[in-house]
Structure 1
């Protein structure tokens, strides 16, 4: 919630508070991508420290650092300093992965699925509440006040972690390197195709992040109420995902996850095509909600397909590699979207993402991910798949 309370409104902050008038889309994309890029580069280092000292210290480290970054934004008055703060925020990132690791390794096996499901639901709830709360709060205290709120929330989270008891287990043997995992994944071409799809899907989602708030203003929202209007638009997809994510998981268990993936990609692609030609704010919000109803099927299906196609002793690491593909998309998406939005216009970006998703649907159909042997694997791994679907219905955050 602390993230979505302020980050979706970066374009308005750049324009209204920092006085940026040209290249707004591009700089909004840079400001979002730079943090994820630095976070991805630092992730192995923080991960090694977590292995050595535990996840709890990493949670506290990240929580305090992120809180400082959010609070620092309150005092930013030029673009260069803002980018520096975003770089620092990337250095301090890692709160969500560390929290998942802490819960997963300190929860009894029979309750792990439920505990991770709670985290997934909480993440989705934050994605819904954050933009709405940020939009409402900005009416009272302005954009800078949202940064203060984000910092306080993050700091409170870090303080709460101090009261958590972590039980650490000694690792047996050396853990395979990422390079070894990549080589093993390369031996299964279908896994590589799924990772490619995850990259495309992640880019299609994040390419729009620096543009949505600007597009809301272009559709006629008054700048004084733009944050509230943008908050509603951002939350629409989250609401739709919460309503239908688990249902798509059950449908996939019956008809095949390849089929639900195709349905989700087609629905998401058509939704983006329609958003390219919308001319009213209310219609745009409704289309975002409709897009979310279908797109909620995509990430659970992709993760379930990874479990189906990976060997039993490689499934956990195969899913972890999918997060690498997703993170790459999270870095590329905002940067690409920012430059494309300023070059060809935002409607054409919606058009391109729609075509990309429809092309992905055709590729999935042509590749035949749900063949008979996969159906047998689905039956054997029903319990594992249900946990994956439950925990990943909200996509990247």
Structure 2
């Protein structure tokens, strides 16, 4: 699974640093760029729960392969885009195919016991981190000084095809459904019912706050360093590559020991605090060192939060509903990616970068209050679809 995730996340990383530089050539404003980023997230938010539910019924592996094939087609569309409309279409289609993270999280939950769940989720994050080391660097280098996006996008398409081939040969199925059992009651359960019975609605809100803050920072940073330092896609790609390396290191090597040392909830509180401090410094940063350093601190704190949230969510549903639960978390995260860039783009237009950076700072402040509230301490019953209530 790690091989597939590294290849797939590399393709996403290739596109991230070039989108803010690609779109203005076709007449896009800063707000248009935010809308392009949001179009991907909106479609991912709509499709995420459906992919998770489908993986509960036909298995995780087929869904991962379908989504990755769709991603390859989306990158070909983006490479051939000659208008702003085609960029919107390509990114929207990519969003519809973006079911991999939720399904991969469900697959990891299938094969790890609850005590090791956060570490397992950290391995998924580490795989994405390794991809995000390779991807942004490739995107920045392949775009060249002139900022071409055709070669990076076609490279992303080829890597997606390689991910499909790797999944076909090397990825075992983790969810083996007992077809002799009746499916009627399970099929009738709405996503809202699952979230209500597992007491997960407030948890979904934290996914929104988390990803809205991260996506706002990811959206603002390239524009920020371009405006103040005249950086290009190459420099932005290198910074995102460094962040990917930190993500792989912290989630792959440190997540397990930190969970054993602090426990999941205390670790979440420490990491949210680091996230907040980094964004606070970003509001007032001026030079290259302070700008890059503040963002790296913030995103490293955010990196360690997500495996803990995924561990919380995965333990709240039985295997028959786990794909739907993790699909819901993927959708909530996607809607956060809609909210973050849109609001950050609007604030940037109205009041400049300092006001725009105050948006993720405020969201993380609410995230911090939740992490230190009484709610996460409460034991939450695992929902069994065969239990009435």
Interval of TM-score (by shorter of Structure 1 and Structure 2): 0.7 to 0.9
Residue 39 (str. 1) matches residue 44 (str. 2)? yes
Residues 1:121 and 2:132 aligned together: no
* 8 Å contact kept, 2:60–2:103: yes
TM-superposed deviation, 1:14: 0.8
Displacement of 1:282 in angstroms is: 2.9
Corresponding residue for 1:139? 144
Aligned to 1:158: 164
Q: Give the deviation of 1:142 after TM superposition.
A: 2.6
- CA shift, 1:283, in A, is 2.5
1:63 to 62, 68, 81: 68
Partner of 2:365, secondary structure, is: helix
- For residues 74 and 313 of structure 1, the distance between their equivalents in structure 2, rounded to whole angstroms, comes to 39
Q: CA deviation at 1:36?
A: 2.5
Q: Residue 15 of structure 2 is aligned with which of 2, 6, 26?
A: 6
CA shift in 2, pair 1:59/1:353, >3 Å? closer
SS at match of 1:2: helix
Q: What does the per-residue CA deviation read over 1:182-231, in whole Å, with 9 as the maximum and x for residues that have no partner? A: 33543565x43332222211111112333221112012134xxx112111
Deviation at 1:29, TM superposition (A): 1.5
In structure 1, how many angstroms separate the alpha carbons of the residues matched to 2:262 and 2:314? 16
2:196 corresponds, among 186, 195, 198, to 186
The TM-score, its normalising length taken from structure 2, stands at 0.78
Aligned to 1:173: 182
Is the 2:243–2:300 contact (alpha carbons within 8 Å) kept by the matching residues of 1? yes
Query: Could you tell me whether the CA contact under 8 Å between 2:70 and 2:97 is conserved in 1?
Result: yes
Alignment of 1:25 with 2:30, yes or no, is yes
Q: From the superposition, tell whether residues 336 and 179 of structure 1 become closer, same or farther in structure 2 (CA, over 3 Å).
A: farther
Higher relative contact order (Cα pairs below 8 Å, separated by 6+ residues): 2
Residue 13 of structure 2: SS of its match in structure 1?
coil
In structure 2, the CA distance between the partners of 1:118 and 1:315, relative to structure 1 (3 Å rule), is same
Q: How do 1:204-283 residues align onto structure 2 when only pairs under 5 Å count?
A: 204-222=213-231, 226-245=232-251, 246-247=253-254, 249-283=256-290
1:86 maps to 2:94? no
Farther off after superposition, 295-304 or 276-285: 295-304
Is the alpha carbon distance of 1:360 and 1:227 closer, same or farther for their aligned partners in structure 2, counting shifts above 3 Å? Answer: same
Q: 1:75 to 1:104 in 2, by over 3 A?
A: same
Q: For residues 165 and 247 of structure 1, what CA distance do their matches in structure 2 show?
A: 25
Output the CA distance in 2 between the equivalents of 1:57 and 1:311: 22
The 3 A distance-change label for structure 1 pair 340 and 305 is same
- Taking the aligned partners of 1:368 and 1:330, their CA distance within structure 2 comes to 25
Greater mean alpha carbon deviation, residues 95-104 or residues 153-162: 95-104
Match of 1:341 in 2: 348
Q: 2: CA distance between counterparts of 1:93 and 1:173?
A: 30
The equivalent residue for 2:385 is none
Q: Secondary structure at the match of 1:173?
A: coil
Deviations 1:39-67 (A, max 9, x none): 33234555566566555554444333322
Structure 2: gaps (5+ residues): 1-9, 381-389
Shift of 1:147: 1.1
Structure 1 counterpart SS, 2:149:
helix
Quote the residue 1:298 is aligned against: 305
Q: Deviations over 1:243-287 (max 9, x none)?
A: 333535533444443332222222211211211221122322222
> Which piece of structure 1 moves more, 158-167 or 270-279?
158-167
Q: Which moved more, 1:242-251 or 1:95-104?
A: 95-104
